[in-house]
Amino acid sequence: MNEPVSVQWFPGHMAKTRRLMERCLPLIDGAVEIADARIPASSRNPELDSLLAGKPRLLLLNKADMADEQANRLWLNYFEKTGTPALPVDCKTGKGLGGFARLAQRQLGHLVQKYRDRGITGRTLRLMVVGIPNVGKSSFINRMAGGARAKVADRPGVTRGNQWFAIGGGVELLDTAGVLWPKFDDPAVGERLAFTGAVRDVVVDVEALAARLLQTVGLRYGDRLCERYRLPPEALKEYDPAGLLEAIGKKRGMLLPGGVVNTERTAVAVVDDYRAGKWGRITLELPEAEPAPDPAE
Ligand code: G4P
């Protein structure tokens, strides 16, 4: 149970993304990269640097409402220190997006200045929105472009299906080009992406996934699990992860005829609970060399 769950992966996706992005590059000034605040490292693709060929980037940590607030602060510090300032946001409600203009100014101000120096004012800045599947790219564009989705008509040269949206302030966003496939070289990365539901077209053993999720979350947020599933505080020490899954199934009455726990149904329920935020705000990875936050704080 100490090995990450194996996530099957199709590298063809990455090649397709690369081709699409390369086609879009001449059309854009930079990118809005959306990462998942619960897994800020695993939800980013390290190849984006080279894919963007040095163009500026605005990093959003979306679903910040589902991530541990203290961990959010650690990640913001980390990204600031490593030269990629980030903005925590909740694109479902729009919380935090008020800071987008400031981040844009910070990351794109030099471009505006460059154009101004050349005597060009009011030039539209075009940004490609990139991020892993399900991270909130559409939610972000919807929020920024308003309910009516201010489509920009007939911009040439973009792959069919891609669309530009004006968001005010002289900025346009390009939808759909950037379904950025994550890197799966590290099995722990694949596992975290499976925990959050980022990768759906992969084959995972749901019982093993749920057991590993309980094990991972139990390390830092064990009390939340005990509370949610009405388990005694010592349950996490007493049971191994598979035993914990069984205990939860029993508590929830998820039984097969004959009284045996339906572990598959229990596993699906456990994973769904986590993805729906029923265990509270949980971050699954911290910046390197950071001490774990105390969830009681
Ligand atoms: P994508 O374009 O990158 O694939 O992602 P999309 O915007 O479709 O968002 C995927 C899911 O994540 C949606 O939920 C969306 O509501 C949710 N979501 C996006 N941003 C946030 C956020 O900041 N916080 C939270 N809590 N959720 C967010 P869904 O279940 O697919 O649909 P629904 O719940 O909106 O009906």
Q: pLDDT digits over 31-83, tens only? A: 999 999 999 999 998 888 888 888 999 999 999 999 999 999 999 999 999 99
Q: Rounded to the nearest whole angstrom, what is the distance from the C-alpha of residue 63 to the centroid of ligand 1?
A: 8
Structure tokens at 139: 């939610």
Which residue's CA lies nearest to atom 28 of ligand 1? 92
Say how far apart CA 21 and CA 177 lie, in whole Å: 6
Q: Rounded to the nearest whole angstrom, what is the distance from the C-alpha of residue 176 to the centroid of ligand 1?
A: 15
Same domain for 61 and 167, yes or no, is yes
Same domain for 168 and 231, yes or no, is no
In contact, 67 and 38? CB cutoff 8 Å: yes
Q: What pTM value is reported for the model?
A: 0.91
Which residue's CA lies nearest to atom 4 of ligand 1? 134
In which residue ranges of the chain is pLDDT below 70? 1, 9-11, 147-161, 176-178, 200-203, 289-297
Residues with a CB atom less than 6 Å from ligand 1: 62-63, 65-66, 90-92, 131, 133-139
Atom of ligand 1 nearest to the CA of 134: 4
What's the confidence (pLDDT) of residue 4? 85
Is 167 domain-assigned?
Answer: yes
Residue 190: CB atoms within 10 A of its CB come to 24
What's the confidence (pLDDT) of residue 204? 79
CATH number of residue 119's parent domain:
3.40.50.300
Q: Rounded to the nearest whole angstrom, what is the distance from the C-alpha of residue 61 to the centroid of ligand 1?
A: 13
Same domain for 131 and 248, yes or no, is no
Domain range for residue 220?
A: 205-275
How many domains does the chain divide into? 2
Q: Rounded to the nearest whole angstrom, what is the distance from the C-alpha of residue 91 to the centroid of ligand 1?
A: 8
In what order do the strands lie in the sheet containing 163-166?
A: 86-88, 57-62, 30-36, 125-131, 171-179, 163-166, 151-152
Same domain for 143 and 226, yes or no, is no
Q: Of the candidates 90, 162, 82, 99, which has an alpha carbon nearest to the alpha carbon of residue 126?
A: 162
pLDDT, tens only, 144-156: 987 555 555 544 4
Alpha helices (runs of H) in 118-239, residue ranges in sequence order: 137-145, 187-196, 206-228, 235-238
What's the confidence (pLDDT) of residue 159? 47
Mean pLDDT for all residues in the chain:
87
Which residue's CA lies nearest to atom 10 of ligand 1? 134
Same domain for 137 and 35, yes or no, is yes
Consecutive H or E run containing 59: strand 57-62
